[in-house]
Structure 1
Amino acid sequence: MTDRADTIDLPVTLDDVRAAARRIEGAIVRTPTLLSRTLSELTGATVYVKFENLQFTAAFKERGALNKLLLMDPETRARGVIAASAGNHAQGLAYHGARLSVPVTIVMPRPTPTIKVMQTEGHGASIVLHGETFDEAYAHALELAEARGLTFVHPFDDPQIIAGQGTIALEMLEDAPEIDTLLVPIGGGGLISGIGAAAKGLRPAIDLVGVEADLYPSMYCEIGGCDLPTAGDTIAEGIAVKQPGAITAAIVKALVDEIVLVSERDIETAISLFLQIEKTVAEGAGATGLAALLARPERFNGRTVGLVLSGGNIDTRLLATVLLRDLARSHRMARLRIQLQDRPGALSAVVKLFDQQQINIVEIYHQRVFTSLPAKDAVIDVECEARDAAHLEGLVAALREAGFRVEPVEIC
């Protein structure tokens, strides 16, 4: 797609991004871009990570929100701004609005988790709960903007927002000039549009790759002219956008070289790897760049790749679930279903084999009633911890050799 860039008058340029960088300097965190030796060894690429989860609100959205606010005249700021968001845009706008004494109203759907409402209120915003979906909240925000004389701040389809997000690319290429490929999450397209304007302006030959969750391929379809389902309960809710922006779609079409779709499983694995390897928390959207690298290693082998870890706001209970599922998939945690005779000593014999194999038992579920087995038999599910798949296979073999019927309970 890059061959079209010179023929299109884009609404955001490298100069716009540079001006935004000067404007917001000192008020946002200049997050580090660091080489990950372990991720490089794992993927076959040289991998640099831009840690935008280290912003005060733990996401890149602060950059665009602040640039937008600073470009408003004093009278507009005094009237206040409004946005529809249940996530990072809300918190970034609320935080910098409070810093600049700009009244901020955020419209959120009623089902928004209480913790997100409280976090946004904690940054000084007034919260309006309206509607059951984001679209309903969005429509209500536009109505309130007109009725109250407020300025509506779009989360992505705004040149000033886009320019602010693009400052990430300036920092990445200054800190790691050897980067030849950028992997960037796509939701509405504001982040990759800004990064594209800056990166392609500095280095026209740089490989710019967008990443979407395969449940929400909206930009992929917009650019490719296809019609894929765009719905589902994705862990990457920060990029679960059904309709990309008009401005962003034009920029993406001109500048982005490829859009990669990643599965929920690959996103979960990426979240887990960021925590295990980099000791950092990534939300689902923030982990999609690494997910693409894991899913398409042949595409990036030998390249010097810059990953944008765009945010780290993930529910702690969800994070725990992701980590446990990853342990199960890597066979470091397992559930074994074992059939045995329901008589004294049977369970003890099973436990003895676990001890001999040095595999830790986490929990045992004993089932006698709700089973089709003979009345004198029982089934137990044993959750256990092993070193790896080979360690677990040794236990299964020992159980079967001792005469027990055993089957691993697999997850998807």
Structure 2
Amino acid sequence: MADAASRLKGLIEQLLAAPLPIRIRAWDGSEAGPPGAPALVVRNRRALRRLLWKPGELGLARAWVSGDLGIDGDLYTALGLLSGLIWERGEDARTLAQALRDPEFRAAARGLFALAGPLPPPAPPREEVRRARGHLHTRRADRRAISHHYDVGNDFYALVLGPSMVYSCAYWESPDSTLELAQRDKLELVSRKLALKPGERLLDVGCGWGSMAIHAAREHGVRVVGITLSQEQAAYARKRVADEGLTDRVEIRVQDYRDVDDGPYDAISSIGMAEHVGTQQYLRYAQELHSLLKPGGRLLNHQIARRPLRDESAYDIDEFIDAYVFPDGELAPIGTTVTQLERAGFEVRDVESLREHYALTLRRWVANLEAQWVRAKGLTSPGRARVWRLYMAASALAFERNRIGVNQVLAVRTPESGDAGVPLRARTWN
């Protein structure tokens, strides 16, 4: 069909009942849309079949990961223009069932099916999670989910994260600072909030590649147990610990938080791990950590939060994130997290939002990935590199636009005496 882009643009706008804010470039070389805007590149009819057979984020994800869809132009600009149509339509957006009652919608859908051709779409990209039967957040399910995200190659993560090997929000003095300095400052911020002292025991839950454990042992003289479910992370962290000469003070285990039984600890850090716990397991998570602390011990829980909904029962997991990035991950509002920590027996002493800091961090990770794009694809796969680029860029925009946030919660297992050991002016750690 000649000028497929114009035909495609018209049908999409008819479906969405809204103008398309970016250009369309179709497989026949034709283009249509606002001059100068980034282009959504529809490389073949297969992209349409993926979208039509699986409407919504999952179809878009499959087309993107497979390379059937692409963006020509600045990715952030394109995602920002599309966000109102894809991610920010709000709770009042009409459902597919409502849309199908609209004759114009049905006519546009028929037109797209005709344009896409009669063949069904191919199988999902191999980077998509293959779901197994069973309950969420069993030990086996969590190991499998963590392996999907983290066991994709330490060299790939080193390329994205840089020398710090910290895979969580950095703490920026200014946007012009370096990623390495901002990550060091975040680890130091956590250490100060925990008031770490030489000889104390720290449990680092979800220790990643060992950065917090090494920082706490080297800079504050504590003895650290770091736990992760990722075999690749553990191997990498153990080598780093040995290279730093800290094997007498740092132990890295492949262990589930539910299986730690060698408390009490003076402090616990949980940085970017609680998002994997799941709503149904969260109270147990908080209770387990509470039981592992000595009276007066501190927990620093660093966790991404979503905004609350008018109807919390309507919350849906992000299909793209669940299928390609963080399987079985769940976000909760910060109020829910604080409530669960308090239900477990903690006294919450401080909550600090670092939302803007995560946006800056993600943009640096995307820049690292894009700067070594060819090597990144070789270290993992082209599809997985596309996954990471899209999810990090979209997440940066989500933090910038206040769709999600990230918070550090300092909680104490306050002893019966009531003395939590927190200074009257607590934020002296800044």
What's the TM-score once normalised by structure 2's chain length?
Answer: 0.29
Highest Rg: 1 or 2?
1
